[in-house]
Structure 1
């Protein structure tokens, strides 16, 4: 497995929830509330976007994307340069980069940069949209990350960033390895399920 998976996620001082990726399987609303729990949220909580990469032997350094809106130029300079350096260090010149379909990722200059710099990458036309079942970060590693954060110590944006930086080191290697090595099986199961979400 020489795929380096990549994803960004928002964390806020109330905890973490991503309506695109976080789902609760339930028979009705009451069942969903019991399984998923209802939590109070501040109206405008402080939040931080982070970027993480994962591959069959570990995770990449955490990148805090907190300085400005992430457009294609910022994404190339702040994220892709880190990914390229790390991927080449771990794999040499034989590996594949994966990113989802976020706007900065799909931008023609981002796609061109990836084509010219990565040994190989999955371009925007070959990665399915809304596919959390195919990214180890979405179906496993983000959850692990959320659970190792000491949320009692998160009181402000600064303490949230501190917890993110210290907690990323607590992500269990076994979780990363298992989630990445199960990717091929998940890809096969999804193809057998007509591309629908896995249960």
Structure 2
């Protein structure tokens, strides 16, 4: 065959005949997914009485499927959607394309020192539970963990400014004294005067004294009447950083 054709092409596989990844079992997996929609590979293996490895091969190699997690998005009411539509029209009439990369986005977030613990990714192998407990198998959480507030600002080129509040909460007075001057300083030093400041509808941000300060010091900013509420997906600090 090599002399005649330059290669060897066998009519049948020289190995053991397939029993799991044949057309009929693959069709069963596909039909089960179409009926159930959401199912784990472990449950699918139990239903079809095959190993999880075989299920993975059918899903990825034969059906060319990938596993995706659900994306969590804010629940938008009709009022939210209408405000978003109004905001979109306002942005298109107010900002040119090159102006959109000159928006300074800002946001605050409260962190606790315990952080986020995922027990799924932290396992200890032991014969018994008591033995696992001795091997640092207990994670202790504080009932009232110490927290710290962080304010951050970003624009199209990256992170611009950060303010950390070690103690207390932020009211409008503290926001005006400790946060807004930082944003103004970076504007003057890096961005110049041709840019816009964005903040969400948190109470310190929409206080009348805060809005007055922004109006007096920023050449352009997105005020509370235009920025739509319940819109974390519009701010890169919420969905990216």
Task: Give the TM-score band, short-chain normalised.
Answer: 0.5 to 0.7
Give me the whole-angstrom Cα distance separating, in 1, the residues matched to 2:210 and 2:200.
12
| Corresponding position of 1:131 | 231
| Distance apart, 1:88 and its partner CA | 1.9
1:70 aligns with 2:174: no
Q: Is the 8 A contact 1:10 1:16 kept in 2?
A: no
What is the Cα deviation at residue 41 of structure 1?
A: 4.4
Off by >2 Å, runs of 4+ in structure 1: 39-42, 66-69
1:1-199 map, 5 Å: 1-16=101-116, 41-141=141-241
Q: 1:113 to 1:14 in 2, by over 3 A?
A: same
Q: What is the TM-score with the length of structure 2 in the denominator?
A: 0.48
1:63 and 1:79 in contact (8 A); partners too: yes
Note the alpha carbon deviations across 1:82-132, whole angstroms, 9 max, x for none.
001101222211000000111000100000100110110000111111211
TM-score (norm 1): 0.57
* Equivalent residue, structure 2, for 1:22: none
The alpha-carbon deviation at position 66 of structure 1 amounts to 2.3
Contact 2:104 2:198 in 1 (8 A): yes
What is the Cα-based RMSD across aligned positions, in Å?
2.2
Cα distance in 2 between the residues matched to 1:68 and 1:11: 13
Contact 1:6-1:54 at 8 Å conserved across structures: yes
Q: Which structure has the higher relative contact order (CA within 8 Å, separation 6+)?
A: 1
Aligned residues: 123
- Structure 1: gaps spanning 5 or more residues: 18-32, 142-199
Could you tell me whether the CA contact under 8 Å between 2:148 and 2:167 is conserved in 1? no
The unaligned stretches of length 5 or more in structure 2 are: 1-100, 121-138
Q: Corresponding residue for 1:159?
A: none
Secondary structure of 2:153's match? Answer: strand
